[in-house]
A and B are shown apart, each in its own frame.
Chain A
Amino acid sequence: MSAKYTMVEKILAAHAKEGSKVAPGENIWIKLDYRTARDFGGANVVKAYEKHYPGEEPVDKDNVFFTFDCVVPANNIPYATNQQKCRDFARKHGLRLHDVDRGIGSHVAMEEGIAVPGVTLVGTDSHLNILGAVGAFGQGMGDQDIAFAFRTGQTWFEVPPSYKFTVDGKIGDGTSAKDIVLHILSKIGSSGALGASVEYEGTAIDEMPLHGRITIASMATEMGAVVPLFEPNAAVRTYCRKRYKGAEKFPKVRADSGAKYEKTMEFNVDGLEPLVAKPPSPENVVPAKTLKDVRIDSAFIGSCTNGTFEDIKAVASICEGRTVAKGVMAKVVPATREVYARMLKSRILNDLFEAGWLITSNGCGGCASGQVGMTGEGEVQISTTNRNFPGKQGAGNTYLASPETVAASALMGRIATVQEVGQ
């Protein structure tokens, strides 16, 4: 009788060395379909690679690539230097490189049809597990790990225990996937899924489009999870199939019936109202309506959590025919060049501009001291990013919320919900 696998076990088993026992707690060697590095960490990957593997070529090098997304284009000399180190390394070894104009690496991997159901992909981005949104196994790792993966195309991995999160219900007006994930974080906390693989299912998830899955997946790291996984629905499979360049069919990523879960939790999001995570941590969640007295200095839309076209479109539709409150710096950073192009062609770029938003070139934004979204001491920012740890984006106070709530807040000059401004 063959083993009953959860989703993560199924993907790992398909990539494991023959004869490996794929069960929680077991250390197995797995084949990595893709290995990547970004400008953050990339130069250290290059340094570690050249130290350990001088003169050697990465195996299977068509599937090794760089993406620059943290500080794009570089606004300081050390970053410019590090990016050039990666470019030189990529040229020397004939590796692909998505340069400063392309966008957030994890999103690029989905757009390019690289991250499709069932693949394994590692890189230096700690939110790479976002690829669970399409049923892929993505994993952020440190530079030593990635240097090793570049060279060998494999890594050891401890099979994580699997949790099942069932999310049922129909969320309330003016809310979106971000509110769902903030709700879950408020229930389980920042180490509520520590070291686990979290599989999402339920009536709130089944029909959820890709951009919502991306948002929820992007905050698995904030729960301490190793990976989140969503069984791809028809729309997600169609999205991936259109972009996929490989010859063989990608596998169905579905847990076996009878697979074992260490923990199962149920979340009822029926009528969920807009939520906000207050500083100093993403789990510090309260209803947005309790924060009406919080005046804001800045509003940020973007990041791997909420930088998709659909996220930005939601902001544009709330702001249409209105303007950002006086004194609020309202910033949009599209996740990728493709998102930027769609904004341009659909006039959303124009509409946001008219409403008073500052729109910059695509990338991560401020999460890793990037170009946009830094705060000064005393500054209050409401943001669609995924972390608000002390000092992360500067000395100010960052509140995390959905694109809808950030948009409403930008219009009001204080924390506000869509219900207050109307849509």
Chain B
Amino acid sequence: MSVNLSFHGRVWLIKDKEGKLIDDIDTDQIYHNAHLAITDIKEMGKFAFGNLEGMKDFAKDVKPGDTVIVGGNFGAGSSRQQAVDCFKSLGIACIVARSFGAIYKRNAINSGYPILTIENIDLHKLSNLDVVTVDADAQTIVRSDGTKVGNLKPLAGVQRDILEAGDLFEYAKRMK
């Protein structure tokens, strides 16, 4: 059985004033350390991007099934799982970035959360809240009118295996 890795929904482009996807968004900007004591995933969503300038209302405005597109080194910084779980909590379908921080990448992969890496993207063809299909298998980002706006890098082998199993714990059981 193959897991569904095609996501259809609105897109949130996390851009700076010059219209560039923001690089180096760190875990404190994604999920501030003031909320680290929270262990219930249901409580985490409301703090997503709470410390990222101009994004204070993100958690209120997103809808389950939306996708987030960001720049490079996304999730740099701390090891907090909450920086992944807060998006899960909101029902964000997947995170698409130019690259990910090393620990963030592991945290997402291990918890079976789809993170996808941009090969190329044409931001002129994409506006905030456009409806797109992000397809990890086809490795494409396609607007709802059929226009292709970007390509994705292939998933790493272990990432696909863990996504298919559900998470690291289920994956390890299958290995035995």
List the interface of chain A (C-beta within 8 A of B).
Answer: 27, 40-41, 43-44, 47, 52, 76, 78-79, 81-82, 124-126, 140-145, 148, 152, 156, 158, 160, 190-191, 194-195, 221, 224-226, 281, 368-369, 387, 389-392
Residues of A within 8 A of B168 (CB): 144-145, 148
Q: How large is the interface on B (under 10, 10 to 19, 20 to 34, 35 or more residues)?
A: 35 or more
Report the 6 A-B pairs with minimum CB-CB distance, sorted nearest first. A78-B37, A142-B107, A142-B81, A191-B73, A140-B79, A126-B79
Pairwise interchain contact A224-B79, C-beta atoms closer than 8 A: no
Pairwise interchain contact B37-A141, C-beta atoms closer than 8 A: no
A214 CB to closest chain B CB, in angstroms? 19
Provide the bound-state CA to CA distance between A44 and B51, in Å.
Answer: 22
Provide the bound-state CA to CA distance between A142 and B157, in Å.
Answer: 20
Residues of A within 8 A of B80 (CB): 40-41, 142
**Contact A190/B79 with A144-B110, A368-B33 known, Cβ cut-off 8 Å:** no
Pairwise interchain contact A156-B158, C-beta atoms closer than 8 A: yes
Provide the bound-state CA to CA distance between A158 and B102, in Å.
Answer: 10
**Contact A391/B51 with A125-B79, A145-B168, A158-B158 known, Cβ cut-off 8 Å:** yes
Which residues of B from 63 to 112 have beta carbons under 8 Å from A?
Answer: 72-73, 76-81, 84, 99, 101-103, 106-107, 110-111
Provide the bound-state CA to CA distance between A52 and B156, in Å.
Answer: 25
Provide the bound-state CA to CA distance between A139 and B29, in Å.
Answer: 22
B88 CB to closest chain A CB, in angstroms? 12
Cβ-defined partner of B29 (8 Å) among A43, A82, A143, A389: A389
Interface of B, helix, strand, loop or mixed by DSSP: loop
A267 CB to closest chain B CB, in angstroms? 21
Pairwise interchain contact A389-B28, C-beta atoms closer than 8 A: yes
Pairwise interchain contact B23-A142, C-beta atoms closer than 8 A: no
Residues of B within 8 A of A142 (CB): 79-81, 84, 103, 106-107, 110-111
Provide the bound-state CA to CA distance between A140 and B32, in Å.
Answer: 18
Provide the bound-state CA to CA distance between A76 and B77, in Å.
Answer: 24
Residues of A within 8 A of B39 (CB): 43-44, 47, 82
A-B contact pairs, 24 of them (CB 8 A): A41-B79, A41-B81, A82-B39, A125-B79, A140-B78, A142-B79, A142-B103, A142-B106, A142-B107, A144-B168, A144-B169, A148-B169, A156-B158, A191-B76, A191-B99, A194-B72, A194-B101, A194-B102, A221-B76, A224-B76, A369-B34, A369-B36, A391-B29, A392-B28
Pairwise interchain contact A124-B33, C-beta atoms closer than 8 A: no
Provide the bound-state CA to CA distance between A224 and B172, in Å.
Answer: 28
Contacts A390-B29, A390-B53 aside, 6 further interface pairs with beta carbons under 8 A come to: A141-B79, A142-B79, A191-B73, A191-B99, A387-B77, A392-B28
Pairwise interchain contact A148-B172, C-beta atoms closer than 8 A: yes
Provide the bound-state CA to CA distance between A198 and B76, in Å.
Answer: 17
Pairwise interchain contact B73-A126, C-beta atoms closer than 8 A: no
- A47, A125, A142 interface centre (most CB from chain B within 10 Å): A142
Provide the bound-state CA to CA distance between A308 and B77, in Å.
Answer: 22
A67 CB to closest chain B CB, in angstroms? 14
Residues of A within 8 A of B130 (CB): none
B48 CB to closest chain A CB, in angstroms? 14
**Contact A27/B156 with A191-B23, A194-B102 known, Cβ cut-off 8 Å:** yes
Provide the bound-state CA to CA distance between A76 and B81, in Å.
Answer: 21
Provide the bound-state CA to CA distance between A368 and B31, in Å.
Answer: 12
CB-nearest residue of chain A to B71: A191
Residues of B within 8 A of A224 (CB): 73, 76, 101-102
Provide the bound-state CA to CA distance between A160 and B102, in Å.
Answer: 10
Provide the bound-state CA to CA distance between A142 and B156, in Å.
Answer: 19
Provide the bound-state CA to CA distance between A389 and B37, in Å.
Answer: 20
User: Is B164 on the interface with A (CB-CB < 8 A)?
Assistant: no
User: Is B135 on the interface with A (CB-CB < 8 A)?
Assistant: no
CB-nearest residue of chain B to A391: B51
Pairwise interchain contact B172-A152, C-beta atoms closer than 8 A: yes
Bits for B143-176, please: 1 = Cβ < 8 Å to A, else 0. 0000000000000111000000001110010000
- A225, A387, A391 interface centre (most CB from chain B within 10 Å): A391
Provide the bound-state CA to CA distance between A152 and B39, in Å.
Answer: 23
Bits for B26-51, please: 1 = Cβ < 8 Å to A, else 0. 10110011101111000000000001
Residues of A within 8 A of B33 (CB): 368-369, 392
A54 CB to closest chain B CB, in angstroms? 12
Pairwise interchain contact A281-B24, C-beta atoms closer than 8 A: yes
A301 CB to closest chain B CB, in angstroms? 21
Pairwise interchain contact B81-A144, C-beta atoms closer than 8 A: yes
